[in-house]
């Protein structure tokens, strides 16, 4: 029996190794950035895409059908990284603060811990996997062509999206949403519809994650050149007297810190496309000399174009969660079902984390629950020693604190706006980021509405069937949730009579930040950077609001959409793509 067990384990390991491959062998067109000097220093490209993320991968795959494309991705490969590939490791990936992690943590000036992707495939490698389209109103306001949008979404869906097998906690929350009045039930659909629905997922039935990086296999690999661990430091411009500046290439460093230059071809239509995300894109524009002149002068960055709006209008969809202890451990699940209200408040759910003794005792540094508990202390008292002391005594917490599920309330289109600003001229320094959560009173009003809606859901028969309903009052659940939510905001434990205070104390992110390169202010309707030539920004930094209940579907769609549109412009309307 023991021998059989050992053979089974070995077989699983062989399958995993053969399925995953190493960082550079599964996809032969993936190369280290240091290979550029020996192989491609004289090459020029029709398109240089800065960032192989959620938008950059489908964009590159599409453009490569007819043109040479260079992707410069600062992170590594998702292939062979089990933290990326498997749903069960979702929280471990986010807790990993090592330099090679696919998730790079940062803390906004609001005190909320957040993460940005640092891996080929971008946010699709570290998110909760939920897939749902933007509303028809969103598409109309963006000025996108309906026909092309409706061709671009299925291109993504046919390749990497699956129908989820609904987990018990997800089913209970779905039925609880309907019983609490969030109807009608719209079934399984990608469409953004008021009421309750089940959406798609990029996890298959075995919990294996597909990512935007998988879309690259649909490109023309002879035209597609991808460098990993390639950090772009600035965009290079040609400045002729009396003419507007034009992007001609980029300066980047490889994994060893050696600098390289990559250039565009001398042909009409060649462009540098920045797809570095909400933080990376405005940061790179400013490092390249496009931004507020006053701020650039302070850091002695030569000004290419004075544009006050770069880095402004940043938003993050604030989220608050209520933890619901259950009588028995619940199956792990990420987002599968959602309740969509007419006031821009979404209700979602997750479950099954921290069930084992290992997860209770494990200390994950700044991303761990120890830090969340420390936020009841004044900032000056949040020391490493205090964190270790909490880790030592954490086993004394009741077991039920780590057994159950979360119901999440998330605000769509927050009216509270923030900004991003450079700290220095080093691309590796995360900028100062401020979201100003709940600065606008209507955002706070919607949060309170969400908490009250969750209270109604918790009291439905579908949830009480999984919990010991007589053991936890609403006040107890709120107090428990104050401690469960991880941020660096001083909390008011045992003072949750004010739901407004609860919202402020427990605000966390769901990684849906956007803005900083808005259409009409930094880029035009075709995402060309206003005032310079040969340069576009195509990613979530151009969004005023986050699309749908979860943005990844629309960000990937945008990459495909713009790729097709750009090909048609260069090749003619009749071009088949």
Kindly report, residue by residue over 449-507, the tens digit of the pLDDT.
999 999 999 999 999 888 865 556 666 666 666 555 555 555 555 555 589 988 998 89
Average pLDDT over residues 52-73: 98
Report DSSP letters for 58-78, one per residue.
Answer: HHHHHHTTTS-EEEEESSB-S
Contacts of 240-245 with CB under 8 Å at 24 or more apart are: 244/531, 244/532, 244/533, 245/304, 245/305, 245/531, 245/532, 245/533
pLDDT for 358? 44
Kindly report, residue by residue over 155-186, the tens digit of the pLDDT.
999 999 999 999 999 999 999 999 999 999 99
Q: Which of 27, 20, 37, 155 is nearest to 86 (CA)?
A: 20
pLDDT for 365? 45
CB 259 within 8 A of CB 252: yes
| C-beta neighbour count of 244 within 10 angstroms | 13
Range with the poorest average pLDDT among 320-329, 346-355, 411-420: 346-355
Structure tokens at 147: 């026909």
Range with the poorest average pLDDT among 21-25, 41-45, 187-191, 433-437: 21-25
CA distance 171 to 336: 9
Average pLDDT over residues 432-461: 95
What is the sign, positive or negative, of the torsion defined by CA atoms of 145, 147, 153, 159?
Answer: negative
| Mean per-residue pLDDT of the chain | 86
Average pLDDT over residues 272-296: 98
Confidence of residue 370 (pLDDT cuts 50, 70, 90): very low
CB 538 within 8 A of CB 558: yes
pLDDT for 481? 62
Confidence of residue 367 (pLDDT cuts 50, 70, 90): very low
Global pTM exceeds 0.85: yes
Kindly report, residue by residue over 138-149, the tens digit of the pLDDT.
999 999 999 999
Is 336 among the annotated ligand-binding positions? no
pLDDT for 94? 82
Is 551 among the annotated ligand-binding positions? yes
**Could you confirm whether 512 is annotated as catalytic?**
yes
Between 107 and 519, name the one with better pLDDT. 519
Confidence of residue 424 (pLDDT cuts 50, 70, 90): very high
Q: CA torsion, points 54, 555, 410, 449, in degrees to nearest 10?
A: 180
Confidence of residue 23 (pLDDT cuts 50, 70, 90): low
The catalytic position among 260, 462, 512, 514 is 512
Range with the poorest average pLDDT among 64-78, 186-200, 354-368: 354-368
Kindly report, residue by residue over 115-146, the tens digit of the pLDDT.
999 999 999 999 999 999 999 999 999 999 99
DSSP character for 538? -
Kindly report, residue by residue over 77-106, the tens digit of the pLDDT.
999 999 899 998 888 888 787 888 999 988
E strands, 402-513, are 404-411, 418-421, 432-434, 508-509
CATH number for the domain formed by residue range(s) 47-574: 3.50.50.60
CB 113 within 8 A of CB 371: yes
Is 511 among the annotated ligand-binding positions? yes
Distance from the Cα of residue 472 to its chain's centroid: 34
Is 512 among the annotated ligand-binding positions? yes
What is the sign, positive or negative, of the torsion defined by CA atoms of 331, 334, 337, 343?
Answer: positive
Q: How many angstroms separate the Cα of 435 from the Cα of each of 118, 219, 508?
A: 21, 37, 11
CB 219 within 8 A of CB 67: no
φ/ψ (deg, to 5) at 118: -140, 65
pLDDT for 379? 47
Kindly report, residue by residue over 247-270, the tens digit of the pLDDT.
999 999 999 999 999 999 999 999
């Amino acid at each position: 029996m023991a021998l059989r067990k050992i053979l089974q384990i070995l077989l699983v390991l062989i399958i995993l190794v053969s399925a995953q491959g190493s960082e550079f062998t599964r996809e032969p067109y993936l190369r280290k950035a240091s290979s550029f000097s020996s192989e491609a220093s004289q090459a020029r490209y029709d398109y240089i895409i800065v960032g192989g993320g959620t938008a950059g991968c489908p964009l590159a795959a599409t453009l490569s059908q007819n043109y040479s494309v260079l992707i410069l991705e600062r992170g590594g490969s998702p292939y062979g990284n089990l933290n990326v590939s498997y749903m069960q490791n979702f929280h471990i990936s986010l807790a990993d603060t090592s330099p090679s992690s696919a998730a790079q943590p940062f803390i906004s000036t609001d005190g909320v811990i957040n993460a940005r992707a640092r891996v080929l495939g971008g946010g699709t490698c570290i998110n909760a996997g939920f897939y749902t389209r933007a509303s028809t109103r969103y598409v109309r306001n963006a000025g996108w062509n309906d026909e092309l949008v409706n061709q671009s979404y299925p291109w993504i869906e046919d390749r990497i999206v699956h129908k989820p097998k609904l987990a018990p906690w997800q089913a209970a929350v779905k039925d609880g949403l309907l019983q609490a009045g969030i109807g009608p039930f719209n079934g399984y659909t990608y469409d953004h519809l008021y009421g309750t629905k089940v959406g798609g997922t990029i996890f298959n039935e075995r919990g294996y994650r597909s990512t935007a990086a998988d879309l690259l296999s649909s490109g023309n690999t002879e035209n597609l050149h991808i460098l990993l661990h390639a950090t772009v430091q600035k965009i290079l411009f040609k400045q002729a007297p009396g003419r507007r500046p034009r992007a001609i290439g980029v300066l980047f460093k490889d994994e060893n810190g050696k600098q390289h230059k990559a250039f565009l071809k001398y042909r009409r239509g060649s462009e540098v496309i920045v797809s570095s995300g909400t933080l990376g894109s405005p940061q790179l524009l400013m490092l390249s000399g496009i931004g507020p002149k006053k701020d650039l002068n302070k850091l002695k960055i030569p000004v290419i174009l004075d544009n006050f709006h770069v880095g402004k209008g940043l938003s993050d969809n604030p989220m608050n969660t209520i933890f619901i202890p259950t009588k028995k451990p619940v199956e792990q699940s990420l987002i599968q079902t959602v309740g969509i209200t007419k006031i821009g408040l979404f209700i979602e759910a997750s479950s099954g984390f921290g069930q084992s003794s290992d997860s209770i005792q494990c200390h994950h540094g700044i991303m761990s629950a120890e830090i969340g508990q420390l936020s009841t202390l004044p900032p000056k008292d949040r020391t490493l020693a205090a964190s270790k002391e909490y880790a030592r005594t954490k086993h004394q917490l009741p077991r039920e604190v780590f057994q159950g599920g979360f119901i999440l309330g998330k605000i769509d289109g927050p009216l509270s706006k923030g900004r991003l600003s450079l700290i220095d001229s080093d691309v590796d320094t995360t900028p100062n980021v401020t979201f100003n959560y709940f600065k606008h009173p209507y955002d706070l009003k919607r949060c309170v509405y969400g908490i009250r809606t969750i209270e109604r859901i918790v009291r439905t028969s579908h949830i009480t069937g999984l919990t010991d309903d007589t053991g936890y009052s609403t006040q107890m659940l709120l107090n428990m949730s104050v401690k469960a939510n991880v941020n660096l905001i001083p909390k008011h434990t045992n003072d949750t009579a004010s739901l407004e205070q609860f919202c402020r104390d427990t605000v966390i992110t769901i990684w849906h930040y956007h803005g900083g390169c808005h259409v009409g202010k930094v880029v035009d309707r075709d995402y060309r950077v206003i005032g310079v030539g040969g340069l576009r920004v195509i990613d979530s930094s151009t969004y005023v609001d986050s699309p749908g209940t979860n943005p990844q579907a629309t960000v990937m769609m945008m990459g495909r959409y713009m790729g097709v549109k750009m090909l048609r412009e260069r090749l003619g309307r009749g071009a088949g793509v």
